[in-house]
Each structure stands twice: as structure tokens, then as C-alpha cells.
């Protein structure tokens, strides 16, 4: 099994660890410390060695941070984790703080009149630190970069750095050689009159060089740093033992491999201007450059936008991955439909079964994240991860939310379906139908070229809003091509200002959650495309749906759907049957025909 069910959260360990950290801070002359969920590469997903926030507090979410002060330790969490955090931290020692509604600077000013608050400059971006510094101007609180991370100083059994071997991502799947990518991006540097660019994000590095790795669970990325020069050469800083001969031959003579330890010293010897992404590179990078007199040119990571805009080969490969995954998902849904009414299923047994159907494809590289399988009230925990301690039976009359995904060599998938076990009730069907209407709205929309995710996010929420409901997460995140299941900069979110461009893959996942009762989420992946000509032929964008699996018709209040929504749903289900019917077993085909029948 790729997924395990142990509980990494240790709320009982939080208080003594917090006491030890405060003692360490006192010895360092500090009154506080910032503990982010981040590593030196600033990726969203981190290796076990870098789970400092989890180790200290017990909180296992994929985003958040802790600010430790003398009398209080605030765990800052967004809307996805406000239910989860209360079960994972010792509330006598740690205080959950709703973020971003409560800004960290405002919170610190309220809790600390004066003092020195330390931070590790390798674990925070310049943008992040500057924002906090501005909010603390005129106070007695000073931010202090430290060379020794005090959490590491008290974490006696801290895991070793990850050691996953790199491997080549084939050209037929990448669609463009790394030489061509390097040349294309280097031309951009020359036009900007920049000598080099620093690449710190693991998925950017892997995309640029057409390699993949195994340093982060569920994400096929390699830990390292890269310097892209304006002549298309790359200096790659990585543990050399991770690269076998095949990878070295693939990289070729224009990519020089160096030990990680040489990165900082090489920065000092660069000729500027050097591009650094203020929002993704560690603060330490620009500090080293500036201290050495190297001119820093602030700009976007040169790989992020090209990586987000998938080429034709990547999209074709991703389509195939989704059809394969869709067939496995349909086999699972048929199995679940047959087994759940019999009783005896638990969240863990459901997760194990789903992974088994994906393994049966003989193409599964890994799952793309730990499957979120929430029965009844556990479905309301947005990023719930079942453990042996929380494992709940799948009961008659409840909803079951299953959010899962897979990593195949040809693509990354992410799909959510919420299904009924027995008769969950009229209110659950009403809420489900509103969520489905939101998904359909995003699927059907045409929008002017140049609009960003924030401009269409509200479409998914309209039917919920008019019922006085909403959900506390974005409507969609970017997705990589056999890379990270969460990819930037593209998003469908009220805070996303990045224009949506052809080739960007996103999730479409509205939801509704009632704490202590049930959760509903529905998710397909979509890809941005130029919309076919229509009307006065303005330049418009639309979405192609990549994910194929039926929605639970038992939960749909058909009378609430508009004619256009009904047409979309019938057409989608007809396409599911047409695309997947020949890929599933005979017994499942019969079930699929019923599941996809016109409403």
C-alpha cells in the first residue's frame, strides 16, 4: 500500500516540545520564533525531515505556520483546517488562529509589546518576511534571521534528508527537450538583460530538465537548486549520488552537477543581474547575493508559467492517464455501490479498495496524495486523513466523501465523488445539487481572454450563496503533468490574479461542509482552451473536462437543475459511458450504463 494509516500527530508531545523550544529561544536571546510548514525549496510538500510544524504542534495540514511567543503559541490555519486543527493540537498549549483573516503581524502586535522574534531565512520568502516587517513597523518587535534553526536544535531524532533517485521523464511525454526549454527561457533572460535566474522550486527544476525524483511522498520531484544562465547552461546543485549514469547522459554537457553544499558559495561569484522570485525563493538566496555585491533582479521563477501551460503532448498524455484512472474509479464506484449496503466497510477498507483498483491498471507509480475518505461527519473535515484511531464505519443513511488521485508516468489525477449510502435525507440532496450546479457552471463557462481565476470563482458558489451557504477553500488549484498535484501559479480562487491561459490544468471542486454532520465535494480536472468561435467572435477561453466518472444520481434533485445544466449532465454522462465503457469489466459496464442513464 502507498497509503498508511498511522497517526503522525502527537498532541501529547506538543507541550513538552514547546517548553524545550522556549528554553532554546531564551538561550539564543530570542523572545519568539516562526515555525512554517516549509523547506529550503519552498515547495508545498515537504519531506519527513522538514515537518517541523507537525513535529512541534501535532498539526498535519499541508499549509499553516506557528508563531511561538513567551506566553502563547498561535497555529495559523486557513479554512480547510479549522476543524482538523482542534483535534490535532493540545489546545492548552497551542491556540488556533484563523488565517488569513487574522494577519500574523497584527496578532504579534497584540501578544508581544516588544522583543526579538527569530526566523530561519531559508524557510521563508522575501515577500513573506517583508510583509511581516511592514506590519511590525513602529512597534518594539524586531524580526531576527538566525543561522541555527532552534527546532532542529531540539529535535533529537529528526529524520535524515531524503534520498530519492532521479529518473528521466521521456521526451514523448514531456513534449519538448530540456535543451529547447533551457534555450527558450534563456532568451527571456537575455531580453530582460539578466545574466542568470535562480530556480528553487522542486517541480520547476524537474520540469526544466525533464527529470523526476522521489524526495517527497506522492510527488515525483527531486530536491535541489538550479542556476539557469543566459546562455542556456544550467548549474544543478543536488546530492550527486541521486543521479545515475542514464540521468547524467540525459542532462548532457550543458548541465553541470554540483553538490548541494556549493550552492551558497556559487551564488556569491555570479555576475548580475540575477533573477530571484521574491514569492518563492528563500530569503537567504537574495541575502547572500546582496552581501556579495551581486545585483538582484526581482522577477517570476522563469519556469512556473511555461510549466503551467501544458503543451499538446503533455495534454494528450494527461487525457490518457485520466481515462485509465477513470476506468479504475468506475470499477471502485461499482464495488462501493454493491458493498456499502451490506455493512462492514470502514474508511480504511474503502481507501485500500480504491488503491487496489488503481494498482490493477499496472501503471500506478504512486497515489498523488493520501486519499481523503470521510464517512458522515468526517466528510466535513476538508483535508481529513483517516488513521487507525479515527477510522469510522461507513453507515447507512450517511454520505461518503472520497477525494483521491494517482501519479502515472503520463499524468497526475485528482478526483472527488460524494456518494450516498442508503437514504441520507432531503437536505443532503439539496446541498449536493447546489455543489453539482457549481461544478457544472465552471465546466460550461466561456470567459474573455485575460481573466483570472478570481473572475470566475463566484460562479461555483452562486447556488450556495443564495441558500446562505459557502465553502472555505478555493474552487480550483493547478495540477502538474506527472508532477505536483498542487501546482502554481494558476488557481480558481477569489485571490488569484494570474490570467488563465491555454494548457493550464486546474481542478474544479466546489463543496459544502457541515461540521459534525456531513461533507460534500465534487471534483473534475479541467484544462483551459481557446473557445470555439461564437457570436461576435470575441477572444474567449473555455474548459475541456479531463476527468470521467459518474455523479451519484440518487443525490441529484433533478427538478432544481436548469435545462442547460441537465443538458450538460446528460452529455457528460454519455461521454463517460462512451469513453470508459470499453475499458471496464462486463459487470461494471452494466452498472455504468445505469449510472450514466439520462436524467
CATH number at residue 433: 3.90.230.10
Q: Are 85 and 53 in contact (CB under 8 A)?
A: no
What integer is the mean pLDDT of 266-281? 96
CATH of the domain at 95: 3.40.350.10
Does some domain include residue 561?
yes
**Span 38-78, pLDDT tens digits:** 999 987 889 999 999 999 999 988 789 999 999 999 999 98
Residues 376 and 265 in one domain: no
Residues 352 and 377 in one domain: yes
What integer is the mean pLDDT of 513-534? 97
Residues 323 and 279 in one domain: no
Residues 107 and 182 in one domain: no
**Span 133-158, pLDDT tens digits:** 999 999 999 999 999 999 999 999 99
Residues 479 and 357 in one domain: yes
> What count of other Cβ atoms lies within 10 Å of the Cβ of residue 91?
14
β-sheet with 406-408: strand ranges across: 364-367, 406-408, 411-412
Does some domain include residue 415?
yes
What integer is the mean pLDDT of 105-129? 95
Residues 528 and 404 in one domain: yes
The percentage of residues in the chain with a pLDDT greater than 90, rounded to a whole number, is 93
Does some domain include residue 386?
yes
Q: How many domains does the chain have?
A: 3
Residues 109 and 224 in one domain: no
Question: DSSP states of 27-84 as a string?
Answer: HTT-SEEEEES--TT--SS--GGG-HHHHHH----SS-EEEE-SS-EEEEE-GGGTTH
Full domain range(s) for residue 95: 11-154
Verdict on whether the full-model pTM lies above 0.85: yes
Last residue of a domain, one of 154, 184, 216: 154
The span from the first CA to the last CA of the chain, in angstroms, equals 38
Does some domain include residue 5?
no
**Span 348-377, pLDDT tens digits:** 999 999 999 999 999 999 999 999 999 999
* pLDDT given for residue 42 in this prediction: 86
* pLDDT given for residue 536 in this prediction: 87
**Span 377-415, pLDDT tens digits:** 999 999 899 999 999 999 999 999 999 999 999 999 999
- Separation CA 231–CA 327 (nearest Å): 46
Which residues are bridge partners to 77 per DSSP? Answer: 98
Model confidence at 544, in pLDDT bands (50, 70, 90)?
A: very high
Residues 220 and 260 in one domain: yes
**Span 303-322, pLDDT tens digits:** 999 999 999 999 999 999 99
- Separation CA 498–CA 483 (nearest Å): 20
Does some domain include residue 3?
no
What integer is the mean pLDDT of 91-110? 92
Last residue of a domain, one of 122, 154, 186: 154
Q: Say whether 495 sits in a helix, a strand or coil.
A: coil
Sequence-ordered alpha helix ranges (H) in 269-422: 283-291, 304-308, 312-339, 347-359
What integer is the mean pLDDT of 460-471? 98
> What count of other Cβ atoms lies within 10 Å of the Cβ of residue 13?
14
Does some domain include residue 162?
no
* pLDDT given for residue 84 in this prediction: 85
* pLDDT given for residue 109 in this prediction: 93
Residues 285 and 354 in one domain: no
Does some domain include residue 4?
no
Q: What average pLDDT is seen over the chain?
A: 96
Residues 364 and 491 in one domain: yes
Does some domain include residue 444?
yes
Residues 293 and 314 in one domain: no
Last residue of a domain, one of 271, 304, 337: 304
Residues 78 and 184 in one domain: no
Phi, psi angle pair for 172, to nearest 5°:
-65, -25
Amino acid at each position: 500500500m502507498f497509503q498508511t494509516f498511522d497517526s503522525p500527530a502527537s498532541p501529547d508531545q506538543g507541550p513538552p516540545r514547546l517548553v524545550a523550544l522556549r528554553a532554546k529561544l531564551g538561550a539564543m536571546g530570542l523572545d519568539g520564533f516562526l515555525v512554517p510548514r516549509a523547506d529550503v525549496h519552498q515547495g508545498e510538500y515537504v519531506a519527513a525531515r522538514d515537518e517541523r510544524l507537525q513535529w512541534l504542534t501535532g498539526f498535519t495540514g499541508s499549509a499553516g505556520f506557528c508563531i511561538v511567543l513567551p506566553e502563547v503559541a498561535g497555529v495559523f490555519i486557513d479554512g480547510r483546517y479549522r476543524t482538523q486543527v482542534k483535534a490535532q493540537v493540545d489546545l492548552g498549549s497551542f491556540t488556533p488562529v484563523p488565517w488569513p483573516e487574522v494577519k500574523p503581524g497584527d496578532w504579534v502586535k497584540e501578544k508581544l509589546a516588544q522583543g526579538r522574534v527569530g526566523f530561519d531565512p531559508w524557510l521563508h520568502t522575501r515577500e513573506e518576511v517583508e510583509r511581516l516587517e511592514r506590519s511590525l513597523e513602529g512597534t518594539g518587535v524586531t524580526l531576527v534571521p538566525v543561522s541555527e534553526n532552534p527546532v532542529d536544535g531540539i529535535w533529537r531524532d529528526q529524520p535524515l534528508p531524503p534520498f530519492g533517485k532521479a529518473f528521466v521523464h521521456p521526451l514523448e511525454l514531456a513534449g519538448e527537450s530540456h535543451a529547447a526549454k533551457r534555450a527558450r527561457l534563456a532568451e527571456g533572460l537575455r531580453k530582460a538583460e539578466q545574466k542568470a535566474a535562480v530556480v528553487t522550486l522542486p517541480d520547476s527544476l524537474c520540469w526544466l530538465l525533464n527529470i523526476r525524483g522521489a524526495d517527497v511522498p506522492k510527488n515525483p520531484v527531486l530536491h535541489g537548486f538550479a542556476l539557469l544562465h543566459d546562455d542556456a547552461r544550467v548549474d544543478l546543485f543536488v546530492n550527486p549520488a541521486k543521479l545515475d549514469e542514464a540521468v547524467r547522459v540525459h542532462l548532457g554537457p550543458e548541465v553541470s552537477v554540483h553538490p548541494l553544499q556549493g550552492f551558497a558559495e556559487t551564488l556569491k561569484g555570479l555576475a548580475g543581474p540575477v533573477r530571484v522570485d521574491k514569492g518563492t525563493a528563500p530569503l537567504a538566496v537574495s541575502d547572500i547575493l546582496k552581501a556579495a555585491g551581486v545585483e538582484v533582479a526581482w522577477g517570476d521563477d522563469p519556469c512556473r508559467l511555461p510549466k503551467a501551460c501544458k503543451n499538446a503532448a503533455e495534454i494528450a498524455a494527461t487525457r490518457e492517464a485520466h481515462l485509465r484512472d477513470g476506468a479504475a474509479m468506475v470499477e471502485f464506484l461499482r464495488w462501493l455501490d454493491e458493498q456499502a449496503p451490506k455493512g462492514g466497510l470502514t474508511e480504511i477498507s474503502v481507501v485500500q479498495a480504491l488503491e487496489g483498483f488503481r494498482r490493477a491498471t499496472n501503471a500506478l507509480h504512486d497515489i498523488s496524495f493520501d486519499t481523503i475518505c470521510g464517512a458522515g461527519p468526517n466528510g466535513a473535515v476538508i483535508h481529513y486523513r483517516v488513521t487507525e484511531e479515527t477510522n469510522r464505519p461507513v453507515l447507512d443513511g450517511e454520505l461518503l466523501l472520497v477525494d483521491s488521485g494517482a501519479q502515472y508516468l503520463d499524468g497526475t489525477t485528482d478526483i472527488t465523488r460524494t456518494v450516498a449510502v442508503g437514504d441520507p435525507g432531503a437536505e443532503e440532496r439539496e446541498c449536493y445539487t447546489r455543489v453539482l450546479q457549481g461544478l457544472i457552471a465552471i465546466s460550461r463557462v466561456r470567459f474573455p481572454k485575460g481573466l483570472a481565476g478570481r473572475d470566475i470563482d463566484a460562479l461555483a458558489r452562486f447556488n450556495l450563496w443564495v441558500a446562505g451557504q459557502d465553502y472555505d477553500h478555493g474552487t480550483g488549484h493547478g495540477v502538474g503533468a506527472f508532477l505536483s498535484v498542487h501546482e502554481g501559479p494558476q488557481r480558481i480562487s477569489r485571490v488569484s490574479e494570474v490570467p488563465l491561459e491555454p494548457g493550464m490544468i486546474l481542478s474544479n471542486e466546489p463543496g459544502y461542509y457541515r461540521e459534525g454532520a456531513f461533507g460534500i465535494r465534487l471534483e473534475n480536472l479541467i484544462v483551459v482552451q481557446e473557445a470555439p468561435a461564437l457570436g461576435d467572435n470575441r477572444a474567449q477561453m473555455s474548459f475541456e473536462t479531463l476527468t470521467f466518472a459518474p455523479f451519484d444520481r440518487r443525490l441529484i434533485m433533478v427538478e432544481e437543475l436548469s435545462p442547460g445544466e441537465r443538458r450538460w449532465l446528460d452529455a457528460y454522462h454519455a461521454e463517460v459511458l462512451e469513453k470508459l465503457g470499453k475499458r471496464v469489466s462486463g459487470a461494471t459496464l452494466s452498472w455504468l450504463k445505469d449510472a450514466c442513464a439520462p436524467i
